[in-house]
Structure 1
Amino acid sequence: MEVYLTFDDGIQSGTEEVLKVLKANTVNATFFLTGLFTGYEFKRDWKKSAQVLKDIYLYHAIGNHSFSHANEYYTSYYKDGLLINNEGKRRTVTEDFLLNKHQLNNYLASICTPTTINHDFLLAANQQTQLARLPGRNVWRCGIKSSHTTNCNRPICSTDESDTKQGADELFNTGYQIFGWHKEWHMQFDFSSETRRYQQQRIATGQMDYSSSLHTNPDWDMYSPEHNEKDRLTEDFLTVADKILEMKNEGKVILLMHDRAFRKSPDNKFKNEAQKLSKLIHQLKAHKVTFKTLDHYYKTKQTVSIL
């Protein structure tokens, strides 16, 4: 049985802790990175963030998870695009993913040997297939491309998420393999609620500036004691392991997680939160599970094209 560990929304608080666990357990994973949050981390601590991104580049797989994460406006993001200034200008889904690719590659070029970074694609060092995941949606466009359909064990587009069709089709047709997930390690989403409240307050008081990312998607200090309890796991590792092993006959399981759920905290309650991930890996290894990155989901490689 193959399990694909995937982590969304990095680089952010918790990414470093996740990488340490993966290294200790000799497991590779796929990181769906978001440019805005990565940028916040680089502004906070360039040296640490550079090492985190370099480790992902050298030892794991990179997926494009958009630049903005839709600023939590998922419905309008997929319908009309992302509002980016006070005059009503919008950025399309495809443009948002393109911006993310450019920013992440610029960071990589400043960290690694520039000639090793192909700016036409967003790929880790040993990766040949471009990967993407749409923010806020479990949508799939993957498999070997043909004129009629795709070879995937999920529908081309989930019927209850058809608002993503145009954006997903554009990304797939430009070379991305778009993966959703089979199982999720559930957690709270307090920071999303905090962001929406912050946006609503600014709109209500006439202080919203849509051209400012700090207004539309604030930079929360997730290591701050006041935020210790937020965005924490709501399931234990045994529950998650059971959910995965229930799909043993399927042969392949993609698990969705979020880096920040595993971040440490100054208090004892969340001091070793990342060890829950280590325990899950040990439990699955005991059942002869093998771990792979999503660029190996299909044995036949799809030729990438430029976005």
Structure 2
Amino acid sequence: MRKKIYLTFDDGVQEGTDEVLKVLSKNDIKASFFLVGINCFHMYMYERDQFNNKFQLLINNHLICNHTFSHALEFYSSYYENGVLINNKRISAFRDLTFNTKFFQWLLFKMNHRKCQMDNWFFRPPGRNILNDSDKNNLAILLSEIYNSHPSYPIMGWDLEWNMTFELSTFIREEVRKNHESKARFNPLQIINHTNEVLNQNVNFDRIKEKHQDVLEKIFRCPKDKIIILLHDRAFRFHPQIDFSEELDSLINKLKFLGYEFETLDKYYGQK
């Protein structure tokens, strides 16, 4: 039996999605993209043509999945216990998840993609791996709500991660704290504006910190025949001196040469 690789990209649509899509297209493989509603809504509002092009490519060629609307605004521990705080109101993780589903249903309707079914689309909790026991404990409340109302909802973790730096998470948390402390009206879209500016000004933020050979070694050590790999679009975005997308291309090429097959998560359980 040939081993299967499931490339999963978190937090899009964002900077780096273009570069990732080009590599996947060049190698004629499909991947699964866990989309964050607030990132997509921001691009839809301010860069609509670019967003529409990327989103069309994702829908037509890959599997789109649910990564919540707010991504917990990077406050993971409190998010799963108390929800995300916006304008002095707590929104539970479950509500954040279901709102993201409704948002993308609306988006697909606006773009005339009515055939795309999202009732039981794949979900990944932000900042937590359901395959990790300690993370699973933190997810107890959310998992209970999902199992009670959507028992067939597929929740996906990952077997290994292409490790990267996370300077942006620290920046977002500080921005959120400033908003709460000033008691100013909180505008999450403004946070996304700031984070995009920070990424553009700091080209070394949120980059992969492993070479493709390191990831390859982790794959070889994984005893499973079906291996889910976590990646992030922005780690492969344009850099003026280094083409990080070449590392992704090299990993895919070596895995293909070694006989690995690439599939999307809807094939993980033998689903059609």
TM-score (norm 2): 0.91
Q: Runs of 5+ in structure 2 lacking a partner?
A: none
- Counterpart position of 2:162: 185
Does 2:184 match 1:200?
no
State the Cα distance separating 1:236 from its structure 2 match. Answer: 0.3
Does 2:49 match 1:51?
no
- Counterpart position of 1:163: 138
After the TM superposition, which residues 233-272 of structure 1 pair with which residues of structure 2 at under 5 Å, given as runs?
A: 233-247=208-222, 249-265=223-239, 267=240, 269-270=241-242, 272=243
Give, as a single letter, the amino acid of the residue that structure 2 aligns with 1:6: T
After superposition, the Cα gap between the structure-2 partners of 1:70 and 1:224, relative to the gap in structure 1 and judged at 3 Å, is: closer
After superposition, the Cα gap between the structure-2 partners of 1:257 and 1:115, relative to the gap in structure 1 and judged at 3 Å, is: closer
Give, as a single letter, the amino acid of the residue that structure 1 aligns with 2:59: Y
After the TM superposition, which residues 1-80 of structure 1 pair with which residues of structure 2 at under 5 Å, given as runs?
A: 1-80=3-82
State the Cα distance separating 1:216 from its structure 2 match. Answer: 5.9
- Once residues 225 and 62 of structure 1 are traced to their aligned partners in structure 2, the CA distance between those partners, rounded to angstroms, is 26
Over residues 2-38 of structure 1, what are the superposed CA-to-partner deviations in whole Å (9 max), with x where a residue is unaligned?
1100000000001111011101101110000000011
- Once residues 204 and 122 of structure 2 are traced to their aligned partners in structure 1, the CA distance between those partners, rounded to angstroms, is 32
- Once residues 164 and 199 of structure 2 are traced to their aligned partners in structure 1, the CA distance between those partners, rounded to angstroms, is 19
* 2:67–2:123 contact (8 Å) kept in structure 1: yes
After the TM superposition, which residues 274-285 of structure 1 pair with which residues of structure 2 at under 5 Å, given as runs?
A: 274-285=245-256
- Once residues 147 and 237 of structure 2 are traced to their aligned partners in structure 1, the CA distance between those partners, rounded to angstroms, is 33
- Counterpart position of 2:270: 299
- Once residues 83 and 224 of structure 1 are traced to their aligned partners in structure 2, the CA distance between those partners, rounded to angstroms, is 24
After superposition, the Cα gap between the structure-2 partners of 1:225 and 1:84, relative to the gap in structure 1 and judged at 3 Å, is: closer
- Counterpart position of 1:209: 185
| Percent of matched pairs sharing the same residue | 34
| Aligned partner of residue 195 in structure 2, secondary structure | coil
* 1:33–1:62 contact (8 Å) kept in structure 2: yes
Give, as a single letter, the amino acid of the residue that structure 2 aligns with 1:245: F
Higher mean alpha-carbon deviation, 102-111 vs 284-293, is at 102-111
After superposition, the Cα gap between the structure-2 partners of 1:20 and 1:65, relative to the gap in structure 1 and judged at 3 Å, is: same
Q: Runs of 5+ in structure 1 lacking a partner?
A: 123-128, 141-156, 302-307
State the Cα distance separating 1:172 from its structure 2 match. Answer: 4.2
* 2:128–2:135 contact (8 Å) kept in structure 1: no
- Counterpart position of 2:90: 90
Give, as a single letter, the amino acid of the residue that structure 1 aligns with 2:207: R
Give, as a single letter, the amino acid of the residue that structure 1 aligns with 2:169: S
* 2:38–2:189 contact (8 Å) kept in structure 1: no
- Once residues 47 and 190 of structure 2 are traced to their aligned partners in structure 1, the CA distance between those partners, rounded to angstroms, is 21
| Aligned partner of residue 181 in structure 1, secondary structure | coil
Give, as a single letter, the amino acid of the residue that structure 2 aligns with 1:139: I
Give, as a single letter, the amino acid of the residue that structure 1 aligns with 2:93: V
- Once residues 135 and 293 of structure 1 are traced to their aligned partners in structure 2, the CA distance between those partners, rounded to angstroms, is 19
| Aligned partner of residue 132 in structure 1, secondary structure | coil
TM-score (norm 1): 0.81
Q: Which runs of 4+ in 1 moved over 6 A?
A: none
* 1:195–1:218 contact (8 Å) kept in structure 2: no
- Counterpart position of 1:130: 121
- Once residues 108 and 78 of structure 1 are traced to their aligned partners in structure 2, the CA distance between those partners, rounded to angstroms, is 28
Higher mean alpha-carbon deviation, 39-48 vs 272-281, is at 39-48
Structure with a larger share of its residues in helix: 2
Higher mean alpha-carbon deviation, 282-291 vs 42-51, is at 42-51
- Once residues 223 and 296 of structure 1 are traced to their aligned partners in structure 2, the CA distance between those partners, rounded to angstroms, is 37
- Once residues 51 and 216 of structure 1 are traced to their aligned partners in structure 2, the CA distance between those partners, rounded to angstroms, is 24
* 2:129–2:135 contact (8 Å) kept in structure 1: no
Give, as a single letter, the amino acid of the residue that structure 2 aligns with 1:21: V
